[in-house]
Amino acid sequence: MSQQTGRHRASSSDARADPGPVYWSEVGDGWTENEVRQRTKSRFGLALAIGLVGLVVVALISSAVSGWWEGSTPPAPDGRADDNSVDLYEPVDGLPNPDGSETSTAMAIPSAVDTPKPTAPSRTTKTPTPALPPPATVTLVNPANQSGTVGTSTSLQLSATDTRTGAVFAFHASGLPGGLWLNSSNGRISGTPSTAGTYPVQISAHDNFGSSDSVSFVWTIAPSAQVCAAGQMLGNPGFETGSAAPWTSTLGVVDNSSPYPARSGSWKARLGGQGQTSTARITQRVTISGNCASCTLSFWLRVDTSETGPFGHDKLWVRVLNAAGSSVLATLATFDNTDAGDYVIRTFNVSSYAGQTIRIEFVATQDFSWPTSFLVDDAALDVS
């Protein structure tokens, strides 16, 4: 049940005036009926204090007002209970209204003066903030290390994914081997490598949302496939120039002296024969063609010696050194004074050095007495 309260509009100083209509709030102005009554009595007390004009009149007002309030629990004047309106109510008091339109009936002033109570403003629905699109994350697939060959066309397709749909990628690359280029739109690297080498490559993919990813890999480009240039690779193989080049030797190795015969022509390499402690050497650097299936080193060797015993005192080594001559890759053979005899061809398979630059070396040592001469002639490095 709604609480009904009222407020009196009449001026207490106008003792003879009709108190006028009463605003009858059916709901919610915070006054209880008793409070209204109490306020009315206070007004009555105030009128008593200031009004010596006439106790009778005051009493009449008091009587009228209190008479109305006392025991009066009128229905909603407009007959619409609990409609949350404010009604004007003219109590039956027999006094003229302030505007002279005294009515002595208990009729409610029609609800034409009803003023609907303002309703609480409805809570407006907050416009939802549009959801942020999901973050875009680019993942660029690492193509792993690549290899290629100079002169041989190649291609590599880059691939990227994005967490957002509708991504459009732009690819970039740095450090590509010469001769290769990247199509930044479709991510395809293609071309023909021009220079052998090892290339650290960095690639990246950028999407249209501002995200990117990058990866690195190594692209190794091998020299162009070589064809074996068949033939004999050594220069001045029979020493007939009368000097060492392109061999490199210690002094006096290239020799045409007698009684040490050449195997062919007039010249040969003579290592040792001094009869005192010494070392003689002759080497030649040579590059063996790649892709040669067969590589054979050969030379003719004659050993003349003054040694007579069964022991090797004076020696000859035939070796393969690296290009710089700083390390021994292989010792092909070792001879000594016990191998004394006329020219015999000696052959060695050096196919494992195809495609490399090596040094062929003959080196001989002598002990302190009884000389031994190692005569080398008609050397050859045949490849095919």
Q: Which two tokens stand for residue 92?
A: 């039956």
Out of 43, 270, 285, 313, point to the residue binding Ca ion (CB under 5 A). Answer: 313
The amino acid present at 20, given as its one-letter code, is G
SS3 category, 63: helix
Smallest distance from Ca ion to CB 274, Å: 9
- Quick note: the x/- pattern for Ca ion over 243-282, rule CB under 5 A, is -------------------x-xx-xx--------------
Q: Which two tokens stand for residue 336?
A: 């000594």
The amino acid present at 246, given as its one-letter code, is P
- Quick note: the x/- pattern for Ca ion over 349-368, rule CB under 5 A, is ------------------x-
Smallest distance from Ca ion to CB 318, Å: 18
- The region of 8-16, 237-245, 251-259, 294-302 touching Ca ion under the rule CB under 5 A is 237-245
Place of tokens 């009515």: 103
Out of 148, 187, 193, 238, point to the residue binding Ca ion (CB under 5 A). Answer: 238
> Can residue 314 be called a binding residue for Ca ion (CB under 5 A)?
yes
Closer to Ca ion at the Cβ: 193 or 238?
238
Closer to Ca ion at the Cβ: 267 or 362?
267
Closer to Ca ion at the Cβ: 87 or 336?
336
**Residues 276, 307, 338: CA angle, nearest 5 degrees:** 115
Q: Is the peptide bond before 259 cis (omega within 30 degrees of 0)?
A: yes
> Can residue 377 be called a binding residue for Ca ion (CB under 5 A)?
yes
- N-terminal to C-terminal alpha carbon distance within the chain: 120
> Can residue 31 be called a binding residue for Ca ion (CB under 5 A)?
no
300, 273 in Cβ contact below 8 A? Answer: no
Smallest distance from Ca ion to CB 237, Å: 8
Smallest distance from Ca ion to CB 321, Å: 23
The amino acid present at 290, given as its one-letter code, is G
> Can residue 370 be called a binding residue for Ca ion (CB under 5 A)?
yes
- The region of 10-18, 64-72, 114-122, 375-383 touching Ca ion under the rule CB under 5 A is 375-383
Per-residue exposure over 15-41, b if at least 16 CB sit within 10 Å of its own CB, e if not: bebbbbbbbbbbbeeebeeeebbeebe
Number of residues interacting with Ca ion: please give it, by CB under 5 A. 11
Q: How many residues does the chain have?
A: 384
239, 379 in Cβ contact below 8 A? Answer: no
Binding site for Ca ion (CB under 5 A): 238, 262, 264-265, 267-268, 313-314, 367, 370, 377
